[in-house]
């Protein structure tokens, strides 16, 4: 019975609690049992079963008819919570208790939700493995020897393992969609600015957004309603939907398992009525390369000090840097504190020249082909072993870990577009994700499309 409760979707759970067929306390106890059984995943950084049960009881009593009605939610450890420490997985912030909740947390609690735990992550959200030298490696529920993806790896692992039904992450270059693909969950990056961003440990105010994880699209839509106040759009099928297939770059050098799963998913989408047309985004990549990493590196050493001043004034930026334990993260930050730092002129060109050009090209491709979304494999490869931080094996060669995993997910943040990764239907093997990206601001339509696609791929 406990396993069945832990595998309920968020929407099923809320409905059962409201109609009285499920006790919110019994549900919280089932999740606590699940968390204990999967403690070896290191998915959770801050969790207390007694606190969860008490918080659920209180939230349900106060918000019985709220949209979340006492539902427990797990939040990435870089999102401010007054009920749990917020460390961003880095040494100088361990035990840090913010004075105020992040904006997204306030909306969850106002709807009757409960932040039940904080999730492990790549240190300071600056990586895609969640192999954290300070708090330990997060492990993939499908194979604990493998990475869950990152940087929101703990949230994805907790959702995939059935510890929580719904979770918050952040996404700067793919940090919700990559872990979703590797762990077999749904991961959503909304358009930049759709969700509140106050009270989140930043990398880049240009690229960052809070995103979400669940085991079905309906639950992602439920949380989107809580965050925006906008009702979910409905689409019953894919009839009339036009999907662009950007074969150049997105479909190159794929892991055979990813190639097979993606081909099968595309066949199912076409059979369900979608029209799939090949499109080219070739002209966008020179602009993307001049924008993505330079903007992230330039802004992180400016945005982090601002966060500390507002939310953790007892921690200096120098102390934060000194407390970084993961070599890859320390290298990224150190590169911007010396003569190799991104110059202001390069940053200005990125913002004033390259970003407008990317948006123009992207919108043109959508307009000329009457697209509802583009579709592609979320990552070129499945999960790889923990410890392969610098290079991973792909088709018999060693390739750089970070740029390979973010290759397909990095475009959406550059232009502020929404993207959602859905798990492909597999009979065996590791999870594979397929991603749908839409125009900036078209989140509601994208979620409706994703719901229909989810149904089609399950046929």
* CA–CA gap between residue 38 and residue 211 (Å, rounded): 24
CB-based contacts of 160, cutoff 8 Å, min separation 6: 140, 141, 142, 148, 183, 184, 185, 215
Q: Are 448 and 224 in contact (CB under 8 A)?
A: no
Q: How is residue 27 written in tokens? A: 């549900």
User: Collapsing DSSP states into helix, strand and coil, what is residue 435?
Assistant: strand
Query: DSSP of 200-252, one letter per residue?
Result: B--S-TTT-EEEEEESSHHHHHHHHHHHH-PPPP-----TT-EEEEEHHHHTS
CB-based contacts of 234, cutoff 8 Å, min separation 6: 448, 451
Closest C-alpha among 308, 118, 129 to residue 202: 308
User: Collapsing DSSP states into helix, strand and coil, what is residue 29?
Assistant: helix
H-only helix segments in 65-205: 103-110, 153-160, 177-183
Known catalytic residue at 335: no
* Longest alpha-carbon distance in the chain: 63
Own/partner long-range contacts of 306-311 (Cβ < 8 Å, ≥24 apart):
306/202, 307/201, 307/202, 311/80, 311/98, 311/99, 311/100, 311/199
Given 175, 212, 221, 451, which residue is catalytic? 175
Known catalytic residue at 221: no
Query: DSSP of 379-424, one letter per residue?
Result: SSS---BTT--SEEEETTEEEEHHHHHHTTTSHHHHHT--EEEEEP
Known catalytic residue at 455: no
* CA–CA gap between residue 67 and residue 65 (Å, rounded): 7
Given 76, 292, 421, 451, which residue is catalytic? 76
Q: How many CB atoms lie within 10 A of CB 387?
A: 11
User: Collapsing DSSP states into helix, strand and coil, what is residue 189?
Assistant: strand
Q: Are 231 and 225 in contact (CB under 8 A)?
A: yes
Burial class of residue 344, CB neighbours in 10 A (0-12, 13-18, 19+): exposed
Given 46, 69, 151, 451, which residue is catalytic? 151
- For 32-65, b/e burial (b = at least 16 CB within 10 A) is bbbbeebeebbbbbbbebebbbebbbebbeebee
Q: How is residue 81 written in tokens? A: 């919570």
User: Phi, psi (5° rounding) for residue 133?
Assistant: -70, -20
Catalytic residues: 76, 151, 175
């Amino acid at each position: 019975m406990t396993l069945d409760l832990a595998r309920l979707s968020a929407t099923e759970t809320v409905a059962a609690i409201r109609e009285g067929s499920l006790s919110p306390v019994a549900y919280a106890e089932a999740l606590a049992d699940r968390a204990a059984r999967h403690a070896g995943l290191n998915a959770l950084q801050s969790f207390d079963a007694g606190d969860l049960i008490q918080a659920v009881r209180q939230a349900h009593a106060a918000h019985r008819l709220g949209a979340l009605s006492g539902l427990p939610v797990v939040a990435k450890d870089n999102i401010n919570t007054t009920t749990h420490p917020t460390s961003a997985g880095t040494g100088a912030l361990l035990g840090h208790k913010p004075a105020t909740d992040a904006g997204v947390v306030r909306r969850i609690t106002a709807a009757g939700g409960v932040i039940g735990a904080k999730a492990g992550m790549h240190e300071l959200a600056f990586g895609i493995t969640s192999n954290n030298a300070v708090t330990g490696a997060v492990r993939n529920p499908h194979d604990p020897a493998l990475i869950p993806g990152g940087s929101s790896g703990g949230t994805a692992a907790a959702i995939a393992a059935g510890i929580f039904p719904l979770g918050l992450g952040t996404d700067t270059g793919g940090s919700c969609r990559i872990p979703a693909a590797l762990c077999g969950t749904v991961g959503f990056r909304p358009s930049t600015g759709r969700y509140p961003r106050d009270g989140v440990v930043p990398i880049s105010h240009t690229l960052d957004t809070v995103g979400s994880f669940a085991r079905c699209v309906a639950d992602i839509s439920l949380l989107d309603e809580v965050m925006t106040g906008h009702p979910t759009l409905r689409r019953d099928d894919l009839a009339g939907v036009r999907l662009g297939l950007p074969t150049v770059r997105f479909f190159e050098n794929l892991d055979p398992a990813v190639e097979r799963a993606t081909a099968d998913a595309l066949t199912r989408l076409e059979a369900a009525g979608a029209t799939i047309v090949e499109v080219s985004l070739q002209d966008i990549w020179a602009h993307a390369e001049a924008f993505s990493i330079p903007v992230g590196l330039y802004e992180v050493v400016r945005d982090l000090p601002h966060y500390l001043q507002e939310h953790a004034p007892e921690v200096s930026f120098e102390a934060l840097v000194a407390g970084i334990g993961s070599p890859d993260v320390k290298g990224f930050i150190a590169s911007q504190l010396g003569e190799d730092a991104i110059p202001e002129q390069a940053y200005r060109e990125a913002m004033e020249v390259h970003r407008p050009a990317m948006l123009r090209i992207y919108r043109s491709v959508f307009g000329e082909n009457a697209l509802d979304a583009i579709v592609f494999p979320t990552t070129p490869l499945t999960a790889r072993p923990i410890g392969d931080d610098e290079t991973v094996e792909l088709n018999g060669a060693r390739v750089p870990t970070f740029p390979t995993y973010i290759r397909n997910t990095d475009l959406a943040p550059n232009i502020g577009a929404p993207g959602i990764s859905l798990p492909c239907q597999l009979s065996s093997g590791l999870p594979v994700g397929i991603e749908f990206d839409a125009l900036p601001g078209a989140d509601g339509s994208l979620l409706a499309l994703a719901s229909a696609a989810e149904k089609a791929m399950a046929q």
